[in-house]
Amino acid sequence: MATRSRSSKSKTVAQQVVGTAAIGMPSPVKGVVATRWGARITLAVVGIALATGVLTVKWDGYVPHFQLDKKRAQEVTAEVRDKVEDVAHKVEGEKHPGFHPPKIHR
């Protein structure tokens, strides 16, 4: 009888961290973010949000308070959109010299 190796059943460090942080979340959300890929993606998104200033953490003693800056999120979204459009125009220009795709306005 074939058995699974023990390592495939054990939780990763990312799953343990996200699972602990997700204690107060509803169980369907917790079930998604605590999966192997969900935990990795969650940690990456939280790390990016912290690095860009969209998410801030303020400590009151030993209790963290998270604050989401919607204005900063809109600024970061606009910056990323502009950079992606610039890269797309550059790549398209390299593929088809003389072609200039229209600028997307939002």
Domain spans of the chain, in order of start: 1-68, 69-106
Distance of CA 42 to the CA centre of its chain: 6
The string over 41-65, giving b where at least 16 C-beta atoms fall within 10 Å of a residue's C-beta and e elsewhere, is ebbeebeebeeeebbeeeeeeeeee
Helix ranges, the chain (H): 6-9, 13-21, 27-33, 36-52, 70-95
- Residue pair 46/38 in contact (Cβ under 8 Å)? The answer is no
What's the predicted TM-score (pTM) here?
0.67
Map residue 57 onto helix, strand or coil.
Answer: strand
CA pair distance 11, 65, nearest whole angstrom: 27
10 Å Cβ neighbour count for 7? 7
CA pair distance 21, 15, nearest whole angstrom: 10
pLDDT digits (tens, 9 = 90+) for 9-55: 788 999 999 988 888 889 999 989 989 999 999 999 999 999 999 99
* Residue 106 pLDDT grade (very low, low, confident, very high; cuts 50, 70, 90): low
Paired tokens of 36: 């192997």
Per-residue confidence (pLDDT) for residue 89, from 0 to 100: 79
Per-residue confidence (pLDDT) for residue 22, from 0 to 100: 87
Average pLDDT over residues 87-92: 81
